C-alpha cells in the first residue's frame, strides 16, 4: 500500500523535515499542529483559548486537504506546556467536536516549538471515493 503526502497552504508550512499529513489506506496521520497563523507565519499570541482555536483551524485545514474532516478524527494527542491550561484548553477543544469524541491522550511537556502553549496531532478516517 502506498502512502500519499498531504499539503495545503491553509495550514502552516512544516518547520522541519516532515509532512503536514500522510494518507495511508483509509487513515490520515496529521503532524503536530502548533498555533501558527498560515497567512503570517507567526505564532498566535496567548491566551490558550486563541492558540487552541488556531491549532484546531490548522488541523481542520489539513484534514480537509486530505479529503476528510474533524468528524472523522479517531485519535488525538495533545501536548500542553502547562497542565494549568488543561481546563480552558478542554473547553475550546470541545467546541470543535461532537460526540462520539475522538480517543485522546493529553500530556504536559517541558517546551514546544516556537514557544507554543500547545501542539495537537491526530489520526482520522478517510472515506475512499469510487
- List, for residues 57-87, the tens digit of each pLDDT value: 999 999 999 999 999 999 999 999 999 999 9
Question: Does a structural domain hold residue 130?
Answer: no
Place of cell 499570541: 45
pTM beyond 0.75? yes
Question: Does a structural domain hold residue 59?
Answer: yes
Structural domains of the chain, count: 1
What are the backbone angles phi and psi of residue 79, rounded to the nearest 5°? Answer: -120, 120
- Domain of 72, CATH number, reads 3.30.1330.40
Peptide bond before residue 9 is cis, with ω within 30 degrees of 0: no
Question: Does a structural domain hold residue 20?
Answer: yes
Range of the domain at 55: 3-125
- List, for residues 84-125, the tens digit of each pLDDT value: 999 999 999 999 999 999 999 999 999 999 999 999 999 999
Tell me how far CA of residue 124 lies from CA of 24, 25, 34, in angstroms: 11, 11, 18
Amino acid at each position: 500500500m502506498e502512502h500519499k503526502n498531504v499539503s495545503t497552504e491553509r495550514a502552516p508550512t512544516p518547520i522541519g523535515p516532515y509532512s503536514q499529513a500522510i494518507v495511508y489506506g483509509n487513515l490520515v496521520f496529521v503532524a503536530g499542529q502548533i498555533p501558527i497563523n498560515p497567512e503570517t507565519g507567526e505564532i498566535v499570541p496567548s491566551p490558550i483559548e486563541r492558540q487552541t482555536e488556531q491549532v484546531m483551524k490548522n488541523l481542520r485545514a489539513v484534514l480537509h486537504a486530505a479529503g476528510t474532516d474533524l468528524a472523522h478524527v479517531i485519535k488525538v494527542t495533545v501536548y500542553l506546556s502547562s497542565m494549568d491550561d488543561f481546563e480552558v484548553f478542554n473547553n475550546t477543544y470541545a467546541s470543535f467536536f461532537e460526540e462520539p469524541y475522538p480517543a485522546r491522550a493529553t500530556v504536559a511537556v517541558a517546551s514546544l516549538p516556537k514557544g507554543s502553549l500547545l501542539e495537537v496531532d491526530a489520526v482520522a478516517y478517510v472515506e475512499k471515493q469510487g
